[in-house]
Amino acid sequence: LDRNRVHRVIRDGQLEFVGGGWVQHDEALPSWQAIVQQVSEGHTWLLKNFGIRPTVAWQIDAAGHSDVTPSLFGLMGYEALVINRIHYRIKQQFKTSKHMEFFWKGAEVGGQVRPLLTHILAEHFSAPEGYDFESAGVRQVTNAKRRSDRLVKIMRERAAFYRTHHLMVPFGDDLRFLAADKQFTNMEKLIRYHCSYINYFIV
């Protein structure tokens, strides 16, 4: 990909950066100064090269979360946070009570408390089962209707955990999109089918 094409898809809203730090940091051990420094490093690079600054923090693989996270991220300019790894019993309780999105009011940082809109992924950050097209045993899409109907069923089940009308469903996982053509070719078939029958699929 050349830089102009990347700039175009960013400008057209087809590509969005989340998190944007140098790394996705651990939340237990690093000092707040180290966290600010690594996020600043990544954001400076993105601003210099693409003219953007991410507004959504992405901490889906941190092994637990710190109570300073929402205030610290709020002070860094993030408007929302996506997390994943919370205790399974707490996640189940949040699903039952539809608290998978909430304003997280954490600890004071620099004399301030900044509640941050927080979204918990319904499942792991991998694609829904049967839709990671790089995995062994996962069939490619040959019958878009059947595969779309099954995907919509999964989405309806997940939507029941949230109060809003929006559902985030990640596709991918660790070490995925190494064969990106498989992922995108099959996703495109599902997207085209969904768009053709959009009223039928309203979740």
The residues that are catalytic are 61
Note whether 130 and 152 are within 8 A (CB). no
Angle of CA points 130, 164, 194, to nearest 5°: 40
Q: Which backbone phi and psi does 120 adopt, to 5 degrees?
A: -105, 130
Q: Burial letters for 120-138: b for 16+ Cβ neighbours within 10 Å, e otherwise?
A: bbbbebbbbeebbbbeeee
Contact 106, 67 (CB under 8 A): yes
Q: Decide: 104 and 66 in contact? Cβ < 8 Å.
A: no
Q: CA-to-CA distance for 120 and 30, rounded, in angstroms?
A: 23
